[in-house]
Every structure is written in C-alpha cells, then in structure tokens.
Amino acid sequence: MPEIAQRPKALLHDHLDGGLRPSTILDIADDIGHELPSTDETQLADWFVRGANTLDIHQYLATFEHTIAVMQSADHLHRVAREAVVDLADDRVAYAEVRFAPENHVHNGLSLDDVMEAVQDGFRAGMSAVSANDSTGATSNTGAANKNTAAPIVINTIVSAMRQADHSTEIAQLTVDWQARDSRVVAFDLAGPETGFPPTAHVEALDIARRNHLPITLHASEPPGLELISQALATGADRIGHGIRLYDDITANESGELVLGPLAQHILDQQVHLEMAPSCHVHVGAVPDISAHPVMKWHRAGFNVGVNTDNRLMSNVTVTSEMGQLVEHFDMTLAEMEALTVAAVHAGFGSWTERQHLIADVIRPGYAS
C-alpha cells in the first residue's frame, strides 16, 4: 500500500456529502444541536460504515441524513469543502471532480447561490492551503496527519440535481450560470435513487445542459441497469456514473473471451468513460464482493474505466485503498494503475490544457521512478 499511496491519482466520482470527517460531523452537530447515532468519533465512523455494509441501498442512502444536516450554513459548507480538498490531496489525488446537490443545503435559509459560493470558496481555500503546504493539521478520514503531507491538487465541481425531486431544471440552469462565472464548475449530474426515477423524467434539465455545451454525467447503477445506462446515453451523458450493471450485456465464451451485447459494444467502441467505484458496488449489492468486480477485466478488454470512491465516509475508502484492493484481487500492475489514472484525467470535464499539463508534469513523472 505505501507504494500505491505515493503515486498520483485521479478521482471523477466523489460526493461531497459522502466524504466528511467524523470529527467534523461531531463538531458541527454539537454546534447546531443535531442528534447523532453516537458522540464517539470511532463509533460514529463505524455507524456510517455499518449502513453501507447492510448491502441495502436504502439503508446506505439513509446515512446521508446526518451529513446533510451538518451542511446547512455557509461556514459549515466552506469547512466541509476545504477539508475534502485537503483529505484528497493527502491521498495524493492530483485531479478530482467532486459533486454535490445544492438543493440539499437550503433547509436553513441559504439560497442556491449562497450554497454554490460557500462550496466553491471552500474548494479554492483547500487548493490554496495545499499549494502553500499549509493545511489544517487536522486528521483526515484515513487517520493520517494532513499538515505538510498533501501534494498539489486540482479540484473541479460537478453540480447534481436530485432525480426524485422536481428541481432539476432550476439546478441545470444554476450550473450553466455558475459555469459562466467560475470555470471550476464543469458539469451537470443527476443523483439520488435511480430505480423509478429515470433520466427521461428530466429531459428539460438535460436539454438546458446540452444547449449550453455543459458536460453531463449521469448515475446508472441500479435496476433496470441496461435500460438506465442506455437512457443516460440517449439523453446526452458524456460519462456514466458507475455503469456496473453493464455486466448484463457481457458474457464470456468457452475461451474466456468477452462477448459483448450491442450496448456494451457501443460503450467500448465509443470509449464512453465508466466511473467505477468497486467498494460502493459491493455495498449497494451490485456485486457480491470485490473479487467479483469486473473493473480490471473490462479495463484489460479495452473499456474506458476509472477507479473512484463515491462516498469515502460510508464505504471507508480512499483512492489508495480502492487501488490496493485491485492489486490484491487482480494483480493490477503499476503500469495498469497509471493507465487507469491517465484514462480518468483524459475523461475529466475540466480545462483540456490543465489536464494535459497534469498528465505530462505530475502523473507520468509520478509513475516513472
């Protein structure tokens, strides 16, 4: 793991409200009088992980009640965003796109613009602190001290609308407006429960994004898997959030070679990027365990895939730990880790010039030694 920990990484699928430090949740909950399942930091962290380990997506999603509750003021949003940057940099993530749903953070009077401003300012503060090698000195989710350990990082923002709600048109326009004023706002997403809430129910929002040349990534991980993936592509998705159930369109012949159905063949041929999150896929019941996950098999077959955390708090993961599991279960090589990292940066929605510089000046050199 130390070898993996020091290599530069990329992250395209990480939820801001799924990556809080337990200590921060405790601090803010005490400040606002919010009742938590435990007031002990270790026990609270374990409680969040237990919710994920039920393998029940509804119980998994229910844990967000507490993280969202402590993200209802500008100061608290700023703190969570800033700490997220420091924690990712501590994990040697060189490029990340962090997503969040502004509509989840207006329950105590903030406007959508207030929410956006607090989060964007927090991300910038985190990048500045990391760049100055002057982070908070607090402890990250991994238990590592942050001060003087983090490497420079680029953070961009994906704005999500909740697909079970009816605010997606407003959120899409918000994203377009903010992208015009802040180049770090890079894409639009639909998040939340997927079964029964297809992207076709949000065509107006997705049309706003497409007409304004705003990149789109859409979650597609729940049943009906192939239908949701296909609908995501049909409604304009440039990337697929998860896409794990594409396995229903992929079989193997007697020689072990992959046999692709029409959707899988299209995704391979067009190199549509799949934002894989192995531990999350176990926790939501999409695969029985990591050893059954197809990410390395698909990568080796030429699919465009990346390795992501999804929710670092709930799944108790970092990009390093996810990569470590791929080494353990699939003998992933350092060259393959580099290829997965480069593929993710290539698939990013941020500035092309900035991403090319990262690949040439940070990622490639980081794997050369």
**Max CA pair span of the chain:** 61
What is the rounded CA–CA span in Å between residue 342 and residue 356?
10
Burial class of residue 205, CB neighbours in 10 A (0-12, 13-18, 19+): buried
Mention every residue, 6+ apart, whose C-beta is less than 8 A from residue 210.
Answer: 216, 236
Beta strand segments in the chain, E? 9-15, 93-100, 154-162, 185-191, 216-220, 239-242, 250-252, 258-260, 273-276, 305-307
Active-site positions? 222
- Rounded CA-CA distance 16/281 in Å is 18
**Gap between the Cα atoms of 102 and 105, Å rounded:** 6
208 and 173 Cβ atoms separated by less than 8 Å? yes
